[in-house]
Amino acid sequence: MSALEKSMHLSRLPSRPPLPGSGGSQSGAKMRMGPGRKRDFSPVPWSQYFESMEDVEVENETGKDTFRVYKSGSEGPVLLLLHGGGHSALSWAVFTAAIISRVQCRIVALDLRGHGETKVKNSEDLSAETMAKDVGNVVEAMYGDLPPPIMLIGHSMGGAIAVHTASSSLVPSLLGLCMIDVVEGTAMDALNSMQNFLRGRPKTFKSLENAIEWSVKSGQIRNLESARVSMVGQVKQCEGIISPEGSKSIVEGIIEEEEEDEEGSESVNKRKKEDDMETKKDHPYTWRIELAKTEKYWDGWFRGLSNLFLSCPIPKLLLLAGVDRLDKDLTIGQMQGKFQMQVLPQCGHAVHEDAPDKVAEAVATFLIRHRFAEPIGGFQCVFPGC
């Protein structure tokens, strides 16, 4: 998840920017830009990277849940992409364009429950079991009883959910599994500092451009191209705001409180809501999901993850931003040849956003090596050393 993503990665690179909200990161970033350079932080639509969008309906006991997916490609295996906590399917946008140009494959990038544009009855249930079942249900809803060959690829929290999905045999046509920069030992160690990190993040943004600029200058996403499309999936307009620029921005409930005050009852609650309204008028965008409230699920995402990953009886790939992330179980498993591993240095934790071409090359090579997909466009495999 975004907070965990930063916490997991803090110790890796001495030159990495300070934590978001810690004061000096923006000015430092401005200094690095150099004189006279102005970068474009305007948002970019998903349609520049994906071919289509679909809302997949899944029946359950309480009614219907709707899962947003973005798709590209028409032939080859399906790469089912699961994002990290706090992010959305749009974090895979630039990677999608890169992988589609290298191998014949189909992309399905999914907004997990509680994230992006997915709408479910119980968006607060983010347990590994529930989200893994969601993945299986979406596959069934899209493809019925005869799904095409599918490779699960997940980043951070999404990597953990991919492993839980695979180990529970919820995707019958599963042919491969890829985790991106998530390791049980590192993740568990980072949980203690997660809440502190969340408190240090900005709570609101003046505009989408402001949110995109923060994500790049804070180091959350080091690739401006990816940030311009993916941050749209991380933030939303504050509830009750009618127009970001308009003077008539009103928070629901204010009118009722004002009527009560006219009757002579001075309300502290009214003043607080007025203050909140002013904040939302000045900063009309906030995070789509309150990650701090998901704390009770964090342990369940990551505990036992390494052994679950190693026990999946399919070809596996682990992509890391630094070799120091390996825990004992994965180190032994890697030495025994139980999975393929590639280290992509000089990336932040959001490896697939920071270096989408390198991740696409690694995934394409994995697919071709196992004869899961055919190369296109003259793509040449570069087999990694480990």
User: What's phi and psi for 176, nearest 5 deg?
Assistant: -160, 165
CB 356 within 8 A of CB 226: yes
Note if 156 is an active site residue.
yes
The pair of structure tokens assigned to 206 is 């003046």
The pair of structure tokens assigned to 159 is 């990597």
First CA to last CA across the chain, in angstroms?
27
Q: Which of 181, 226, 249, 352 is catalytic?
A: 181
Note if 115 is an active site residue.
no
Task: For residues 95 and 105, give the distance between their C-alpha atoms in angstroms, rounded to a whole number.
Answer: 13
Do strands 174-180 and 106-110 pair parallel, antiparallel, or not at all (unpaired)? unpaired
Do strands 174-180 and 316-320 pair parallel, antiparallel, or not at all (unpaired)? parallel
Q: Which of 7, 156, 215, 226 is catalytic?
A: 156
Q: Which of 9, 83, 87, 349 is catalytic?
A: 349
Q: Which amino acid is at 366?
A: F
Q: Tell me how far CA of residue 310 lies from CA of 159, 171, 383, in angstroms.
A: 13, 17, 21
CB 222 within 8 A of CB 354: yes
Question: What is the arrangement of strands in the sheet containing 204-205, beginning at the earlier edge strand?
Answer: 204-205, 285-287, 235-237
The closest of 232, 204, 201 to 41, measured between CA atoms, is: 232
CB 82 within 8 A of CB 162: yes
User: What's phi and psi for 320, nearest 5 deg?
Assistant: -130, 155
User: What's phi and psi for 308, nearest 5 deg?
Assistant: -60, -45
Task: For residues 161 and 154, give the distance between their C-alpha atoms in angstroms, rounded to a whole number.
Answer: 7
DSSP states of 200-264: HS-SEESSHHHHHHHHHHTTS---HHHHHHHGGGTEEEPTT-S-SS-TT---TTHHHHHHHHHTT
Tell me the catalytic residues: 156, 181, 349
